[in-house]
Structure 1
Amino acid sequence: MPNTFYAGGGEGGRLVRGYDWASTALGPIDTWPQSLRTTVGIVLLSPVPIVLLWGEDGIMIYNDAYSVFAGGRHPHLLGSKVREGWPEVADFNDHVMKVGLGGGTLAYKDQELTLHRHGRPEQVWMNLDYSPVLGEDGRPAGVLAVVVETTERVLAERRLRESEALARENVERVQLALSAGAIIGTWIWDIPDDRFAVDEAFARNFGLDPALGREGLSTEQLVETVHPDDKAGLAAAINEVVARGGAYAHQYRVRRADGRYYWIEANGRVEYGPGGMPLRFPGVLLDVEERRAAEAERDRANAMLRALTETLEQRVTERTAELMRTEEALRQSQKMEAVGQLTGGIAHDFNNLLAGISGSLELMQTRLAQGRLTDLDRYMTAAQGAAKRAAALTHRLLAFSRRQTLDPRPTNVNALIHGMEDLIRRTVGPSVQIEVVGAAGLWPALVDPNQLENALLNLCINARDAMPDGGRITIETANKWLDERAARERELPPGQYLSLCVTDTGSGMTPDVIARAFDPFFTTKPTGQGTGLGLSMIYGFARQTGGQVRIYSEVGHGTTMCLYLPRYYGETECDVPLPDLAGAPRAEQDETVLIVDDEPTVRMLVTEVLEDLGYTAIEAADGVAGLRVLQSDVRIDLLVSDVGLPGGMNGRQMADAARVSRPDLKVLFITGYAENAAVGNGHLEPGMAVLTKPFVMEALASRIREMIENKAEGPNAERMS
Structure 2
Amino acid sequence: MTGGIAHDFNNLLTGISGCLELLRARVQQGRLAELDRYLDAAEGASRRAAALTHRLLAFSRRQTLDPQPTDLNQLVAGMQELIGRTMGPAVATRVAPETVLWSTQVDPHQLENALLNLCINARDAMPEGGEVCIATHNCTLGMQEAGPLQLEVGDYVMLSVTDNGIGMAADVLAKAFDPFFTTKPLGMGTGLGLSMIYGFARQSGGMAWIESHPGQGTCVRLYLPRCHTLAVESPSGAVGASTPVASGGTVLVVDDEPTVRALVVDILTDLGCTLVEAAEGTAGLQLLRSNLQVDLLVTDIGLPGGLNGRQFADAARQLRPNLKVLFITGYAEQAVLGAGELADGMHIMTKPFSVEALGQRVTRLLEGERAPAREPGGKRSER
Same fold? TM cut 0.5: yes
Instruction: State the partner residue of 1:357.
Output: 16
| Cα distance change of structure 1 residues 443 and 603 upon mapping to structure 2, 3 Å threshold | farther
2:44 pairs with 1:385: yes
Structure 2 counterparts to residues 8-27 of structure 1, below 5 A: none
Structure 1 CA distance for aligned equivalents of residues 53 and 164 of structure 2: 25
Structure 2 CA distance for aligned equivalents of residues 597 and 373 of structure 1: 34
Report the Cα offset of residue 507 of structure 1: 4.9
Q: Deviations over 1:120-141 (max 9, x none)?
A: xxxxxxxxxxxxxxxxxxxxxx
Is the CA contact (8 Å cut-off) linking 1:549 and 1:561 kept in structure 2?
Answer: no
Report the Cα offset of residue 602 of structure 1: 0.6
Structure 2 CA distance for aligned equivalents of residues 368 and 660 of structure 1: 50
Q: Deviations over 1:231-285 (max 9, x none)?
A: xxxxxxxxxxxxxxxxxxxxxxxxxxxxxxxxxxxxxxxxxxxxxxxxxxxxxxx
Structure 2 counterparts to residues 163-202 of structure 1, below 5 A: none
| Cα distance change of structure 1 residues 473 and 436 upon mapping to structure 2, 3 Å threshold | farther
2:345 pairs with 1:692: no
Identity of counterpart residues, as a percentage? 45
Report the Cα offset of residue 444 of structure 1: 6.5
Is the CA contact (8 Å cut-off) linking 1:399 and 1:674 kept in structure 2?
Answer: no
Report the Cα offset of residue 441 of structure 1: 4.7
Is the CA contact (8 Å cut-off) linking 1:402 and 1:674 kept in structure 2?
Answer: no
Report the Cα offset of residue 377 of structure 1: 2.3
Is the CA contact (8 Å cut-off) linking 1:671 and 1:692 kept in structure 2?
Answer: yes
2:301 pairs with 1:611: no
* Structure-2-length-normalised TM-score: 0.62
| Cα distance change of structure 1 residues 347 and 623 upon mapping to structure 2, 3 Å threshold | same
2:215 pairs with 1:562: no
* Structure-1-length-normalised TM-score: 0.35
Instruction: State the partner residue of 1:592.
Output: 250
2:299 corresponds to which of 621, 627, 641: 641
Structure 1 CA distance for aligned equivalents of residues 21 and 330 of structure 2: 26
Is the CA contact (8 Å cut-off) linking 1:595 and 1:607 kept in structure 2?
Answer: yes
Structure 2 CA distance for aligned equivalents of residues 641 and 441 of structure 1: 44
Gapped regions of structure 1 (runs ≥ 5): 1-339, 420-434, 462-471, 483-489, 491-495, 518-533, 712-721
Report the Cα offset of residue 586 of structure 1: 3.6
Gapped regions of structure 2 (runs ≥ 5): 138-144, 146-157, 175-194, 224-230, 370-383
Q: Deviations over 1:449-487 (max 9, x none)?
A: 7689889999x99xxxxxxxxxx95596315799xxxxx
Structure 1 CA distance for aligned equivalents of residues 162 and 212 of structure 2: 13
Is the CA contact (8 Å cut-off) linking 1:400 and 1:454 kept in structure 2?
Answer: no
Is the CA contact (8 Å cut-off) linking 1:438 and 1:478 kept in structure 2?
Answer: no
1:652 corresponds to which of 305, 310, 319: 310
Report the Cα offset of residue 624 of structure 1: 1.1
Aligned length: 296
| Cα distance change of structure 1 residues 649 and 704 upon mapping to structure 2, 3 Å threshold | same
Instruction: State the partner residue of 1:575.
Output: 237
Instruction: State the partner residue of 1:707.
Output: 365
Report the Cα offset of residue 618 of structure 1: 1.3
Structure 1 CA distance for aligned equivalents of residues 258 and 357 of structure 2: 20
Structure 2 CA distance for aligned equivalents of residues 502 and 348 of structure 1: 34
The one-letter amino acid of 2:245's match is P
Report the Cα offset of residue 382 of structure 1: 1.7
Report the Cα offset of residue 561 of structure 1: 4.1
Bigger Rg over Cα:
1
2:95 corresponds to which of 442, 453, 464: 442
**3-state SS of paired residue (1:442):** strand
Instruction: State the partner residue of 1:620.
Output: 278
Structure 2 CA distance for aligned equivalents of residues 507 and 664 of structure 1: 57
Return the structure number with greater helix share.
1
Report the Cα offset of residue 677 of structure 1: 4.3
Higher relative contact order (CA 8 A, sep 6+): 2
Report the Cα offset of residue 653 of structure 1: 0.8
The one-letter amino acid of 1:440's match is T
Report the Cα offset of residue 370 of structure 1: 1.4
Report the Cα offset of residue 389 of structure 1: 1.6
Report the Cα offset of residue 632 of structure 1: 1.5
Structure 1 CA distance for aligned equivalents of residues 283 and 69 of structure 2: 39
Is the CA contact (8 Å cut-off) linking 2:166 and 2:217 kept in structure 1?
Answer: yes
The one-letter amino acid of 1:584's match is P
**3-state SS of paired residue (1:392):** helix
**3-state SS of paired residue (2:353):** coil
| Cα distance change of structure 1 residues 366 and 631 upon mapping to structure 2, 3 Å threshold | same
1:478 corresponds to which of 114, 133, 146: 133
